[in-house]
Homo-oligomer: A and B are copies of this chain.
């Protein structure tokens, strides 16, 4: 319906954005990028969604304050330490914004600050003092990958995307980087994701678009059921594409939302694919639901079940566990006429009809479950709403990765 095309350069694809990443010493044992910066040449409309965990990382508290005016120009983010429950953490988050703003010659209130990594470890301002000038010096319009690497923790793959789309006849661009892997469970916003665009859009419309989008993107993914204290998805829109500014509902707003959804669902896929220890992507679609909420809630409950996840890892068509998870989801609906199929690529196999076991080809089911991307298709047969949730299997490596995360 909308023409959305993949382009290169991630968060630097939109006009007027530069980025960088550098190793600055937040992570002592590994020499990987651990400080990232994204900067717009011009002031941006800004919108963000944050964790719903009652306990919030210090940066989340600062960002709520800095984004009150719907404007921002830079995002600074370290990895290796979440700055959550760290002594003096709030002051350090403010100071990080001040140092970044001073180095870039902008107002400290236009800086968004994020942190990810170990929770409750001391964090020191010196590391930022030394690191910020270093990362500012590296800023370039080819710096998206370096920035994407700088926010990674246990991630194995860089998560980056950019697309072009059209608003009012003008070509616009949107780019994004994200961090995934562990402590990934939807609750409002999940994980870190930074999105840039040169589309002109007012901050209220931008916030509305983002808040609506995450309900079917980041809020529908789960790797381990643990909701982080630092989850942040932030969008900067600098308007350099020169389109007539999007101010609210209408054709351009819909086109913007379509581009945003293409970007966020791409990242959802790649976040779960790179889930800690994951060997497969697991997607669950729920159709025939009486409401969107039921479809979202049920699909999410299924991909969160440790028992479903381990069965998928074992390539065992133990679909009873799927139905059990459907049953304990906290949504209200009827469970007496549910159909379940397993699918991969173009092949599928029904395993349950009208909530009763049906005879099925175990070899075909096993073969489907051995693919890299497995679908669980659930039809509740009581309405027309549908939703999809994104997860991964659970493997012995998940336990290994998390048994010694701090070392």
Set of chain B residues within 8 Å of A185, measured between Cβ atoms: 328
**Could you say which of A104-112, A236-244, A251-259, A304-312 contacts chain B?**
A304-312
Question: Main secondary structure on chain A at its contact with chain B?
Answer: loop
Report whether A182 and B357 are in contact in the complex, using a CB–CB cutoff of 8 Å.
no
Q: Is residue A87 contacting chain B, with contact meaning CB distance below 8 A?
A: yes
Report whether B55 and A305 are in contact in the complex, using a CB–CB cutoff of 8 Å.
no
Report whether A327 and B54 are in contact in the complex, using a CB–CB cutoff of 8 Å.
yes
Q: Is residue A99 contacting chain B, with contact meaning CB distance below 8 A?
A: no
| Identical copies of this chain, number | 2
A82, A227, A396: residue with the most chain B Cβ atoms closer than 10 Å? A396
Report whether A335 and B403 are in contact in the complex, using a CB–CB cutoff of 8 Å.
no
Set of chain B residues within 8 Å of A114, measured between Cβ atoms: none
Set of chain B residues within 8 Å of A53, measured between Cβ atoms: 324, 327-328
Partner of A405, one of B226, B316, B406: B316
Among A260-307, those with CB < 8 Å from B are: 304-307
Q: Is residue A201 contacting chain B, with contact meaning CB distance below 8 A?
A: no
Set of chain B residues within 8 Å of A349, measured between Cβ atoms: none
Report whether B357 and A87 are in contact in the complex, using a CB–CB cutoff of 8 Å.
yes
Set of chain B residues within 8 Å of A319, measured between Cβ atoms: 120
Report whether B54 and A119 are in contact in the complex, using a CB–CB cutoff of 8 Å.
no
Set of chain B residues within 8 Å of A227, measured between Cβ atoms: 324, 327-328
Give the shortest distance, in Å, between A351 (CB) and chain B (any CB). Answer: 8
Report whether A225 and B306 are in contact in the complex, using a CB–CB cutoff of 8 Å.
yes
Report whether A402 and B182 are in contact in the complex, using a CB–CB cutoff of 8 Å.
no
Given known contacts A357-B87, A398-B310, A323 and B403 CB-to-CB distance under 8 angstroms = no
Report whether B54 and A229 are in contact in the complex, using a CB–CB cutoff of 8 Å.
no
Partner of A352, one of B120, B307, B400: B120
Give the shortest distance, in Å, between A241 (CB) and chain B (any CB). Answer: 38
Partner of A328, one of B121, B226, B404: B226
A54, A185, A313, A325: residue with the most chain B Cβ atoms closer than 10 Å? A54
Set of chain B residues within 8 Å of A87, measured between Cβ atoms: 356-357
Interface size on A, residues (CB 8 A): 65
Give the shortest distance, in Å, between A202 (CB) and chain B (any CB). Answer: 33
Given known contacts A182-B307, A323-B120, A356 and B85 CB-to-CB distance under 8 angstroms = yes
Q: Is residue A36 contacting chain B, with contact meaning CB distance below 8 A?
A: no
Report whether B403 and A357 are in contact in the complex, using a CB–CB cutoff of 8 Å.
no
Set of chain B residues within 8 Å of A121, measured between Cβ atoms: 320, 357
Among A350-401, those with CB < 8 Å from B are: 351-352, 355-357, 394-396, 398-400
Report whether A118 and B318 are in contact in the complex, using a CB–CB cutoff of 8 Å.
yes
A324, A327, A329: residue with the most chain B Cβ atoms closer than 10 Å? A324
Partner of A313, one of B328, B395, B399: B399
A226, A310, A351, A356: residue with the most chain B Cβ atoms closer than 10 Å? A310
Set of chain B residues within 8 Å of A118, measured between Cβ atoms: 318, 320
A-B pairs, 3 with minimum CB distance:
A314-B403, A119-B320, A55-B327
- Subset of 18 A-B contacts with CB under 8 Å: A55-B326, A82-B320, A85-B355, A118-B320, A119-B323, A121-B320, A224-B306, A226-B306, A227-B324, A306-B306, A307-B405, A313-B403, A314-B402, A314-B403, A315-B403, A316-B405, A318-B405, A318-B406
